[in-house]
Chains A and B, each alone.
Chain A
Amino acid sequence: MAKIKGAVVIDRERCKGCEVCVVTCPTQTLALAVEVNAKGYHYSYAANPDACIGCANCAVVCPDGVITVYKVKVG
């Protein structure tokens, strides 16, 4: 059966670490990093990239528009 696989690219330096994307993601793909970016924010990153289904919910709620989403059909 065809499956959708997604991937996110997050602009680390523009992320403000608000966590809104993390709680929105239905597949727990995202997390805030322990490290901080140059502005001192714990930036969001794909902690569990294999789980991403490319639904774009994270990008749609990201206030600062720093998430870009890609997806492909596999299988």
Chain B
Amino acid sequence: MAEINTNDIVRPENLTYVKSKILTDNVMHYCPGCGHSTAHRVLAEVIEEEDLQSRTVGITPVGCSVLMYNYIDVDFQEAAHGRAPALATAVKRLMPEKFVFTYQGDGDLAAIGTAETIHTCNRGENILILFINNGIYGMTGGQMAPTTLEGMKSSTSPYGREVATMGSPIKMADIVALLPGTCYVTRQSVNTAGGVRKLKRALKKAVQYQNEKRGTCFIEVVSNCPSGWKMTPVESNKWMEENMFPFYPLGDIKVPAE
């Protein structure tokens, strides 16, 4: 058999994977290996595959992902810190035909924005909340977040989080799953190919449920922050698997009745 070389394989008819055109050509400002980038890429793929580009409105948070609108080519509105679900409520109520999502870090969603998160879910607003939980305030220098694990070091818990004085890490997905307004609550990851593919399926379900007006969809992505955790990207993913996943187990927490 004749050997086949790379030039024979790299042809348009053999294309297996290329990034979505909805992900712009701007180089993302995220640190190497940051899960924010992967989450953006997957979301862009879903928007393309579901043909949602012209009817999507995203709400960006304050945090590392504040500039998300530079990377995904859909309409966006920037919210004040923690207020994305309130803004998403307004956008969806005024333009119910739009696919509306918020994209929020754990400082944004689980600290300053706790009230908006809980009440938006409780009202069952017909939006998707995409929650990137990296257990830390990435943008401002790795301060402790409500989601920081017990014993985990951060710039404001240099000896590790102590539950007696700082409280326990908070599981937002489990909390909002208790509210009748949420229809779909799931926890996913982006550090493995299998995890990314599962997140993609979860996002497609959230699109379907929003089309069917089922209520609030809440997708948590347990993610890394190599810079804030002071690890290489590969080390951070390993640390996440060993420490974050046992406390924030992956999988569906609430699924709608068929």
Residue numbers of A with Cβ under 8 A of B are: 5-7, 9, 14, 16-20, 23-24, 41, 46, 49, 54-57, 59-72, 74-75
Chain A residues, CB < 8 A from B6: 7, 46, 49
Please determine whether A19 and B232 come into contact, CB atoms closer than 8 angstroms.
yes
CB–CB B232/A5 < 8 A = no
| Chain A residues, CB < 8 A from B11 | 70
Scoring B residues 1 to 38 as 1 if CB is less than 8 Å from chain A, else 0, what string do you get? 10010101111001111111001000110111111111
B17 with A64: CB separation less than 8 A: no
Known: A61-B190, A61-B191. 12 other contacts (CB 8 A): A7-B10, A16-B33, A18-B33, A19-B233, A19-B234, A20-B33, A60-B193, A60-B197, A61-B192, A61-B196, A63-B37, A68-B19
Please state if A64 and B8 are interface contacts (CB–CB under 8 Å).
Answer: no
* A18 nearest in chain B by CB position: B33
Count the A-B residue pairs with Cβ separation under 8 angstroms: how many? Answer: 101
**Alpha-carbon separation in the docked complex, A60 to B237 (Å):** 15
Q: A60-B17, A60-B193 are in contact. Are A72 and B33 (CB under 8 A)?
A: no
Q: In the assembled complex, how far is the CB of residue A55 from the closest CB belonging to chain B, in whole angstroms?
A: 8
Contact (Cβ within 8 A) A17 B32:
yes
B41 at the A/B interface (Cβ < 8 Å)?
yes
- Residues of A within 8 Å of B32, CB to CB, are 16-18, 41, 63
In the bound complex, do residue B196 and residue A71 qualify as a contact, i.e. CB atoms below 8 Å apart? no
User: By the criterion of a CB under 8 Å from any partner CB, how many residues of chain B are at the interface?
Assistant: 38
- Min CB distance A66 to B, Å, is 8
B23 in contact with A65 (CB, 8 Å): yes
CB–CB B10/A19 < 8 A: no
Which residues on B are within 8 Å of A, measured CB to CB? Answer: 1, 4, 6, 8-11, 14-20, 23, 27-28, 30-38, 41, 190-193, 196-197, 226, 232-234, 237
**Given known A-B contacts A9-B10, A57-B193, A68 and B34 have beta carbons under 8 A apart:** no
Shortest Cβ distance from residue B25 to the other chain A in the assembled complex, whole angstroms: 9
Asked, given contacts A63-B33, A65-B23, whether A71 binds B9 with beta carbons under 8 Å apart, the answer is yes
Write the nearest CB–CB distance from A47 to chain B, whole angstroms: 13
Which of A19, A59, A62, A65 is the most central at the interface, judged by chain B CB atoms within 10 Å of its CB? A65
- Which of A7, A46, A60 has the largest count of B CB atoms less than 10 A from its CB? A60
Q: How far is the CA of A67 from the CA of B16 in the complex (A)?
A: 11
Question: Is the beta-carbon distance between A70 and B234 smaller than 8 angstroms?
Answer: no
A25 CA / B31 CA spacing, docked (Å)? 21
Q: How far is the CB of A74 from chain B (nearest CB, A)?
A: 5
| A-side contacts of B27, CB under 8 Å | 14, 64
Contact of B1 among A19, A62, A75 (CB under 8 A): A75
Query: Which A residues lie within 8 Å of B31 (CB)?
Result: 16
Kindly provide the distance from the CB of B39 to the nearest chain A CB, expressed in whole angstroms.
9
Q: How far is the CA of A63 from the CA of B33 in the complex (A)?
A: 6
